[in-house]
């Protein structure tokens, strides 16, 4: 999914707000791993706006520069049979068009 | 372990069941270094972007993991150059043939060992057959390296890159980058105000001590503590703070590390000999987009008053990725 005409978008999500990573498939190049899609976490920080890699990969002449966030998840919320501790976490970067608001 | 329907391609391995990790670093051959230097020279000049190269490799399907890392990246560069018509199939074939001839070595008979008598410490010395060893890997460089040499020739002829760009990258990766991360960490160990700056704004803190970062990516520094143990992976490819640590080790690029560390980090850490107490949170950073991560280990106990250069001897790259911890001195 591309993200057209949002070159100067300001971030929609605040730090610590609940998010769900969209559970959809993708075509072409994308930086949202399958294992995190559909999972619920929180915004750890807003990283700034970066060019959309999905567009760069197909030589889009003017890729959108869009908000990127670091998101935090409890491991037990990602893997149903997580073998470590309940306090263990995972953090990764997700572009805004892959995030939906979520409540716990 | 995850929804196969959503899996993007062979590269998207986070959560796959996989075998034990080979925790040794196997280093790099010259042709791997050359291929890496070329790839970086090409993407730095925006002739082909990193994301285009990644997409090209991802389209290899089942072949993706049948090729080793540098072969896969090299072949992706070849495909992307052909797609962009930077070179033709004919030029590629002719260039590979020309370069292959340069590696042809005439077969010569080994001398009869008994005919070689010379002096050792003034005494006559005769060799036996076992003293000679033939080169068992004398078949020359891999096919993709011939492609890389051809691409380097053609892009140089077109004045898109210079050979010096490639050789500079090889030199920087060998001799400059690996020391930088260690310098940053030792500075943070001896200078609390720098440590705070590094944790709050790593890229500017690093630039502030005179390190010129070539990388586009932002840098985040995560300090190890008694409460949290950080470690880094890139499940989609091999994102790594190269400008601070050099090239990632073999295991960092392996399918086993990339697939397992996101769902069983404590087991993976154990394979590196690192036991994290239950009371400590393990936090995995999947370095999947535009940030790069430097892990700041705690200063080893018993090093009070040590100089930065003395401290640097205690640090290895593995500490700065978070898979191992520096040992206390006392």
Q: Is residue A6 part of a domain?
A: no
- Say whether B234 is catalytic: yes
Rounded to a whole number of angstroms, the distance from the CA of B64 to the nearest CA of chain A is 15
Which residues have a Cβ under 8 Å from the Cβ of B101 and sit 6 or more positions away?
A: none
ipTM of the complex: 0.94
Q: Is residue A43 part of a domain?
A: yes
* Alpha carbon of residue B58 to chain centroid: 19
- Say whether B238 is catalytic: yes
B64 part of contact set with chain A, CB < 8 Å: no
Domains belonging to chain B, first-starting first, are 27-105+143-161 (no CATH), 176-330 (3.90.330.10)
- In B, minimum Cα distance to A44 occurs at B285
Q: Is residue A5 part of a domain?
A: no
Could you tell me the residue range of the domain that residue A35 belongs to?
18-101
Q: Is residue A10 part of a domain?
A: no
pLDDT > 90? residue B94: yes
Q: Is residue A90 part of a domain?
A: yes
The rounded distance, in Å, linking the Cα atoms of B245 and B221 is 13
CATH number at residue A43: 2.30.30.50
pLDDT > 80? residue B140: no
pLDDT reported for residue B138: 60
pLDDT reported for residue A2: 43
pLDDT in tens, B237-260: 999 999 999 999 999 999 999 999
B122-136 burial, b if ≥16 CB within 10 A, otherwise e?
Answer: eeeeeeeeeeeeeee
Percent of chain B's residues with pLDDT above 70: 93
Tell me which of B55, B56, B201, B233 to substitute to probe the interface with A (most A C-beta atoms closer than 10 Å): B55
Going by pLDDT thresholds of 50, 70 and 90, the confidence category of residue A3 is very low
Three-state secondary structure of chain A:
CCCCCCCCCCCCCCCCCEEEECCCCCCCCCCCCHHHCCCEEEEEEEEEEEECHHHHCCCCCCCCEEEEEEEEEEHHHHCCCCCCCCCCEEEEEEEHHHEEECCC
- The helix/strand/coil state of B222 is strand
The answer to whether A82 contacts B263, with C-beta atoms less than 8 Å apart, is yes
B249 part of contact set with chain A, CB < 8 Å: no
Mean of pLDDT values over B143-168: 97
Q: Is residue A2 part of a domain?
A: no
Q: What do you get for the CA distance between the two ends of chain B, in Å?
A: 43
Percent of chain B's residues with pLDDT above 90: 81
Q: Is residue A86 part of a domain?
A: yes
- In A, minimum Cα distance to B219 occurs at A47
Q: B58 with B11: CB under 8 angstroms?
A: yes
pLDDT reported for residue B2: 58
Name the domain count of chain A. 1
Better-scored residue on pLDDT, B281 or B136: B281
Q: Which of B19-23, B60-64, B210-214, B310-314 has the highest mean pLDDT?
A: B310-314
CA of B168: how far to CAs of B61, B162, B175, B177, B266, in Å? 33, 10, 10, 12, 39
Going by pLDDT thresholds of 50, 70 and 90, the confidence category of residue B28 is very high
Residues of A in contact with B220 (CB under 8 A): 70
Q: Is residue A76 part of a domain?
A: yes
The rounded distance, in Å, linking the Cα atoms of B23 and B252 is 9
């Amino acid at each position: 999914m591309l993200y057209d005409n949002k070159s100067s978008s300001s971030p929609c999500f605040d730090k610590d707000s609940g998010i769900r990573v969209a559970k959809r498939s993708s075509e072409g190049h994308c930086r949202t791993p399958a294992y995190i899609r559909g999972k619920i976490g929180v915004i750890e920080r807003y990283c700034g706006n970066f060019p959309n890699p999905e567009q760069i990969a197909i030589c889009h002449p003017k890729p959108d520069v869009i908000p990127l966030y670091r998101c935090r998840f409890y491991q037990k919320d990602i893997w149903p049979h997580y073998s470590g501790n309940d306090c263990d976490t995972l953090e990764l970067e997700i572009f805004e068009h892959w995030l939906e608001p979520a409540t716990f | 372990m995850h929804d196969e329907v959503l899996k993007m391609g062979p590269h998207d391995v986070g959560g796959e069941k996989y075998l034990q990790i080979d925790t040794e670093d196997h280093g790099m051959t010259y042709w791997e270094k050359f291929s890496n230097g070329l790839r970086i020279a090409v993407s730095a000049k925006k002739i082909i972007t990193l994301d285009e190269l990644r997409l090209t490799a991802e389209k290899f399907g089942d072949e993706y993991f049948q090729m080793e890392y540098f072969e896969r990246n090299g072949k992706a560069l070849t495909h992307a150059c052909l797609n962009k018509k930077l070179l033709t199939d004919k030029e590629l074939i002719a260039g590979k043939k020309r370069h292959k001839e340069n590696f042809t070595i005439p077969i010569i008979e080994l001398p009869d060992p008994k005919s070689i008598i010379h002096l050792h410490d003034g005494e006559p010395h005769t060799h036996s057959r076992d003293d000679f060893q033939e080169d068992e890997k004398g078949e020359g460089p891999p096919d993709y390296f011939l492609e890389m040499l051809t691409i380097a020739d053609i892009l140089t002829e077109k004045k898109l890159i210079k050979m010096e760009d490639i050789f500079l990258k090889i030199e920087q990766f060998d001799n400059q980058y690996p020391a930088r991360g260690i310098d940053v960490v030792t500075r943070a160990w001896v200078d609390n105000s720098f440590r705070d700056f590094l944790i709050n704004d790593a890229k500017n803190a690093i630039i502030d001590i005179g390190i010129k970062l070539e990388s586009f990516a932002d840098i985040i520094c995560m300090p190890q503590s008694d409460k949290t143990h950080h470690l880094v992976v890139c499940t989609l490819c091999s994102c790594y703070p190269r400008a601070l640590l050099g090239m990632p080790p073999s295991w960092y690029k392996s399918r086993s590390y990339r697939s397992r560390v996101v769902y069983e980090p404590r087991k993976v850490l154990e394979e590196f000999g690192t036991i994290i107490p239950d009371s400590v949170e393990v936090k995995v950073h999947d370095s999947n987009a535009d940030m790069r991560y430097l892990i700041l280990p705690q200063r080893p106990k018993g090093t009070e008053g040590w100089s930065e250069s003395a401290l640097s001897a205690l640090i290895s790259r593995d500490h700065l990725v978070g898979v191992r911890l520096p040992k206390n001195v006392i």
